Chains A and B, each alone.
Chain A
Amino acid sequence: MFCELNAETGVKSPLDRRSFLKCALASGAALGISGVAQPAAGMPSGTASESEDDSRFVSEAKFYQKLPNRKIKCKLCPRECAVGDKERGYCGVRENRGGTYYTLVHSRVCAAHVDPVEKKPLFHYLPGTNAFSLATAGCNVNCKFCQNWEISQSRPEQVPGQYTPPQRVAELAKQNSCPTIAYTYSEPVVWSEFLMDAADAGHAAGIRSIVVSNGYMQEEALKAAYGKMDAVKIDLKSFSESYYRQVVTGQLKPVLDSLVTLRKMGKWTEIVYLVIPTLNDSDEEFRGLAQWIKANLGADVPLHFTQYHPEYLLKNLPITPVPTLERAKAIADAEGLHFVYIGNVPGHPEQNTYCPKCRKMLVERVGFTASQMLIRKSSCPFCQQPIPGVWHV
Chain B
Amino acid sequence: MRTMNSNSRRIFLKGTLAGAALLCAGRKTEALAAAVEKSRVVVAHDALLRGSGSSVDPQRMLALLDRAMQSLFGHDDAWRKLVRPGETVSLKVNALGGRGISTNVQFVTAICERLQQAGVKPSDIVIWDRDSNELERAGFHITMGGDRVQCYGTDRVGYEDELAAYGSVGSRLSKILTQRSNVLINLPVLKDHDGAGVTIALKNMYGVIHNPNKYHPNGCNPYVADLNMLPEIRGKMRLNLCDATTAMYEGGPGFKPEHCWNANSLLASTDAVALDHTGWQIIERKRAEKGYKTLTAEQRSPSYIATAADAEHRLGTNDPKMISLVEV
Contact = CB atoms under 8 A, between A and B. Distances in A.
A92 B213 contact: yes
B215 to A, nearest CB: 9
A91 B216 CA distance: 11
B155 interface: yes
Given A87-B254, A92-B211, A154-B211, A313 B159 contact: no
B170 A86 contact: no
B253 A84 contact: yes
Given A142-B214, A312-B163, A313-B170, A86 B158 contact: no
A69 interface: yes
Contacts of A50: 155
A153 B211 contact: yes
A81 B213 CA distance: 11
B210 A158 contact: yes
A56 to B, nearest CB: 16
B252 A84 contact: yes
Contacts of A79: 217
A89 B254 contact: no
A285 B252 CA distance: 44
Contacts of B210: 153-155, 158
B326 interface: no
B99 to A, nearest CB: 13
Interface string A120-150: 0000000000000000000000101000000
A92 B214 contact: yes
Nearest to A88: B213
A92 B206 CA distance: 13
B251 interface: yes
Interface in A16-60: 16-18, 43-47, 49-50
A157 B130 CA distance: 11
B254 A70 contact: yes
Interface in B125-177: 131, 133, 155-159, 161, 163, 165, 170, 172
Contact of A313 (B133, B163, B194): B163
Contacts of B159: 45, 158
Nearest to A138: B213
Contacts of B253: 84, 86-87
- The residue among B157, B216, B254, B256 with the most chain A CB atoms within 10 A of its own CB is B254
- The residue among A91, A142, A312 with the most chain B CB atoms within 10 A of its own CB is A142
- The residue among A43, A71, A158 with the most chain B CB atoms within 10 A of its own CB is A158
Interface string B255-285: 1100000000000000000000000000000
B161 A44 contact: yes
B122 interface: no
Contacts of B58: none
A102 interface: no
A17 B159 CA distance: 12
A214 B82 CA distance: 50
Contact of A43 (B157, B163, B195): B157
B194 A18 contact: no
Contacts of A155: 210-211, 213
B213 A90 contact: yes
A64 B194 CA distance: 18
B194 A71 contact: yes
B163 A85 contact: no
Interface in A303-326: 312-313
B191 to A, nearest CB: 11
Nearest to A45: B158
Contacts of A47: 155
A82 interface: yes
A242 to B, nearest CB: 15
Contacts of A16: 161
B82 to A, nearest CB: 32
A313 B165 contact: yes
A249 B214 CA distance: 9
Interface in B201-249: 210-211, 213-214, 216-217
Contacts of B211: 92, 153-155
Contacts of A84: 194-195, 251-254
A71 B251 CA distance: 9
Contacts of A81: 216
Interface string A156-197: 011000000000000000000000000000000000000000
Contacts of B172: 45
Contacts of A153: 210-211, 214
B158 A43 contact: yes
B96 interface: yes
A349 to B, nearest CB: 37
Contacts of A90: 213-214, 216-217
A390 B158 CA distance: 44
Interface string A75-107: 000010110111111111000000000000000
Nearest to B153: A47
Nearest to A39: B158
Given A70-B254, A84-B252, A157 B155 contact: yes
Contacts of A89: 213
Interface string B273-305: 000000000000000000000000000000000
Contacts of A154: 210-211
A81 to B, nearest CB: 8
A158 B253 CA distance: 22
A44 B158 contact: yes
B161 A17 contact: yes
Instruction: Report, nearest first, the 5 A-B pairs whose CB atoms are least far apart.
Output: A85-B254, A92-B213, A45-B158, A86-B254, A84-B194
12 contacts: A17-B161, A43-B157, A45-B158, A84-B251, A85-B254, A86-B253, A87-B194, A87-B216, A90-B214, A155-B211, A249-B214, A312-B163
Given A79-B217, A85-B256, A92-B214, 4 more contacts: A70-B254, A86-B254, A312-B163, A313-B170
